[in-house]
Structure formats: structure tokens, C-alpha cells
């Protein structure tokens, strides 16, 4: 296989990996935002918010001292709804780095195998 063909195959593999990463992130985001936006989930969050405020007022009601929650919505909902572009950008950056690292390792192994196969065995000296 020529070097150009191998590079095209790596490019196709990279694009497929990044498309899979983006598709997976969007699907998880949509499902999570839909789940956390339900009235039941928001009611649970408001209950949690009231509990943390109560625990802050009465420290003996909880073995753990915690700050009262100030947000009216769960942090995961805010993060995935308002900051998804930043999350996706970082995911693509880290995914690209991981793919590049794997590509360098695999290409190095393949070239080492090719070099080992092409080199003729050394002649042993006569005893």
C-alpha cells in the first residue's frame, strides 16, 4: 500500500472518530437536557435546594457542613444547555490529541515490523 493511501485511510478514520464523538455528545446532551428539564426533576432540585439551605441554618441536622445551593436549576442542565459549545470544543481537542497519539504509536509499530522483515538476518561468525 502506498504512503498516500495509508494517509487517506488515517484521515478517514480520524473523521469517522470525530463524527462519532460529536454525534455521541449531542445525543447525550439532548437526552440529559430533556430529562433534567422535566417538572419532576426540577421539583427534586428545588427540594434539594431547600434542604441545603435548611442544613446551613441548622448545622446539627447534617453531619456535613455544606454551602447552600443558590441556583434554581441543576448545574448539569446549565452546563449542557449554556456551555455545550465549549464542552464540545474541549472534547474535540482531547479526542484529536488521543487519536494523534494512537496514530503515532500504531504507525511506529508498523514501520518497525516492516523494517524488521526487510532486513536480512545477520550471518553468524563461524566458531
| Residue-by-residue DSSP string for 77-92 | HHHHHHSHHHHHHHHH
Rg of the chain over CA atoms, in angstroms? Answer: 27
For the chain, what is the domain count? 2
* Residue 30 belongs to a domain: yes
Residue bearing the bigger pLDDT, 59 or 115 = 59
> In terms of C-beta density within 10 A (0-12 exposed, 13-18 middle, 19 or more buried), how is residue 65 classed?
exposed
User: With a threshold of 0.75, does the pTM exceed it?
Assistant: no
* Residue 123 belongs to a domain: no
Q: What are the tens digits of pLDDT across the range 61-114?
A: 667 767 778 889 999 999 999 999 999 999 999 999 999 999 999 988 887 666
pLDDT of residue 1: 73
Structural domain range at position 92: 1-36+83-118
Same domain, 31 and 43: no
CA distance 5 to 72: 54
Amino acid at each position: 500500500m502506498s504512503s498516500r493511501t495509508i494517509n487517506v485511510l488515517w484521515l478517514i478514520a480520524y473523521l469517522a472518530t470525530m463524527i462519532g464523538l460529536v454525534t455521541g455528545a449531542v445525543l447525550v446532551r439532548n437526552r440529559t437536557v430533556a430529562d433534567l428539564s422535566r417538572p419532576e426533576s426540577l421539583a427534586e432540585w428545588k427540594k434539594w435546594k431547600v434542604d441545603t439551605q435548611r442544613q446551613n441554618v441548622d448545622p446539627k441536622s447534617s453531619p456535613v457542613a455544606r454551602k447552600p445551593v443558590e441556583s434554581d436549576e441543576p448545574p448539569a442542565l446549565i452546563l449542557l444547555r449554556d456551555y455545550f459549545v465549549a464542552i464540545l470544543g474541549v472534547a474535540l481537542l482531547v479526542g484529536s490529541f488521543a487519536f494523534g497519539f494512537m496514530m503515532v504509536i500504531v504507525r511506529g509499530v508498523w514501520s518497525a515490523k516492516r523494517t524488521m522483515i526487510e532486513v536480512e538476518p545477520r550471518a553468524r561468525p563461524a566458531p
